[in-house]
Amino acid sequence: MSEPKPRLLLIDDEEVVLDSCLAILEGSDHEVATAPGGAAGLELVRTFGPDLVFVDLKMPGMSGMEVLEAIRALDPTIVCVVFTGFATISSAVEAMQRGARDFLPKPFTPDDFRSMIRRGLDWRRLLVEAASLRREREALRENFAAIVSHELRSPLGAIQQNLFVLLKELAGVATEDQQRRLERMSTRLSDLLALVNRWLRGFSVDFSNLKDNFRPVAIADPVARAVENAQPEATRKAVTIEAEADPEAVVVGDAGTLAEALLNVIGNAVKYSREGGRVEVSAVRRNEKVVVSVTDTGVGIPEADLPRLFDAFYRGQAATSSVGGAGIGLAVTRRIVEAHGGVITATSAPGRGSTFVIALPAAGSAAAPPEGPSPGQVSKGEAG
């Protein structure tokens, strides 16, 4: 397969410039298109798909600067060079800020032009390569979950399974010390498996496939499940959870992951509550939305940490210990909420408590995600 010819686009209102450029390029190994103005030029950016664009800064109608910005918004890997009638430093600087790679003062010699094309196309190759590397890295990250889950979890699981059996078989046969060591091995392995799982969840679980299982879900169901699962820890800390859910509030989604998202938030509220504190959970339908809010009377979150609260842990540890450990759960929560077309926000008064609000499109509203295709299976039995 031969390499496609590099594509050049020249945008200039002066016909003589376009003509002389075409003359220079005659017989060269490029596909060339020209446009007499910004609007026509942008149209060609879309249809012709240039690798390198030369733009005149001073044109009637759409200015060169606007063209630069529009091209950058369309595809930042397209390389732009500006023609400048009078090469002032300030206009050149401004053009570079708006995405131009270089500038070519008029008048220029054929050699100037050719060497600018060479440099521009070299840069374009680098940009395209970098973009494809980035895509590859993203794909790797997405696949990471699958790779790690099989390659790492399988052997760990197999070892643990056999330890379970050994512990049972050797009960009464092994010495107390041997038994204790086996138990330690099993405990450490459980910790390791739990770590891998937590890490995996936070790192690269792809929630986009969730949409295949979307069904109408009364929000009261995941709320009840989440509260039930947060209850043991709440009981230990003498924290009261009060939950109220409007039975008419229905969203389109996946009940299991919604419960998981809610459990993360409610669990945090319990975790950061003082002994004897209260956590209030309410789920109501408000216009086109189903709004779940979780309010605690706990230690609160410093204002500076709020914007980063939902970032995945690897993007930087929140410095204060008061939010330490919340990173993974909330990042996962946000991804689940967003997969449902919703938004999660947090407000807090340090020392007095926090409120987390999850707003999901109500079933039947315009913003509600579509239901997944019918799997053609027997209906799922519900857990517990």
Partner 1 sequence: MSERKKVLIVDDDPDFVEGIKAILDTEYDTEVTYNPKDGWDALKRGGHDLLCLDIMMGRGAEGVMMARKIRKDPVLREMPVLIITSLREQIAFLFPGQAVHPGFVPVDELVEKPVDPDLLLEKAATMIAAAEARRAAQ
Binding site for partner 1 (CB under 8 A): 149-150, 153-155, 157-162, 164-165, 168-169, 193, 197, 200-201, 225, 229, 254, 256-257, 259-260, 263, 375, 377-381, 383-384
Q: Please, which residue, 133 or 158, has the CB nearer to partner 1?
A: 158
Nearest approach in angstroms of CB 200 to partner 1 is 7
Q: Please, which residue, 262 or 346, has the CB nearer to partner 1?
A: 262
Nearest approach in angstroms of CB 197 to partner 1 is 7
SS (H, E, C) the chain: CCCCCCEEEEECCCHHHHHHHHHHHCCCCCEEEEECCHHHHHHHHHHHCCCEEEEECCCCCCCHHHHHHHHHHHCCCCEEEEEECCCCHHHHHHHHHCCCCEEEECCCCHHHHHHHHHHHHHHHHHHHHHHHHHHHHHHHHHHHHHHHHHHHHHHHHHHHHHHHHHHHHCCCCCCHHHHHHHHHHHHHHHHHHHHHHHHHHHHHCCHHHHHHHCEEEECHHHHHHHHHHHHHHHHHCCCEEEEEECCCCEEEECHHHHHHHHHHHHHHHHHCCCCCCEEEEEEEEECCEEEEEEEECCCCCCHHHHHHCCCCHHHCCCCCCCCCCCHHHHHHHHHHHHHCCCEEEEEEECCCEEEEEEEEEECCCCCCCCCCCCCCCCCCCCCC
Nearest approach in angstroms of CB 352 to partner 1 is 30
Nearest approach in angstroms of CB 332 to partner 1 is 10
Q: In whole angstroms, give the CA distance from residue 353 to residue 297.
A: 4
Nearest approach in angstroms of CB 167 to partner 1 is 8
Nearest approach in angstroms of CB 29 to partner 1 is 44
Q: Please, which residue, 154 or 208, has the CB nearer to partner 1?
A: 154
Q: Please, which residue, 131 or 171, has the CB nearer to partner 1?
A: 171
Nearest approach in angstroms of CB 363 to partner 1 is 20
Q: Please, which residue, 104 or 258, has the CB nearer to partner 1?
A: 258
Q: Please, which residue, 13 or 338, has the CB nearer to partner 1?
A: 338
Q: Please, which residue, 168 or 315, has the CB nearer to partner 1?
A: 168
Q: Whose structure tokens read 């050719």?
A: 114
Nearest approach in angstroms of CB 231 to partner 1 is 13
Q: Please, which residue, 196 or 284, has the CB nearer to partner 1?
A: 196
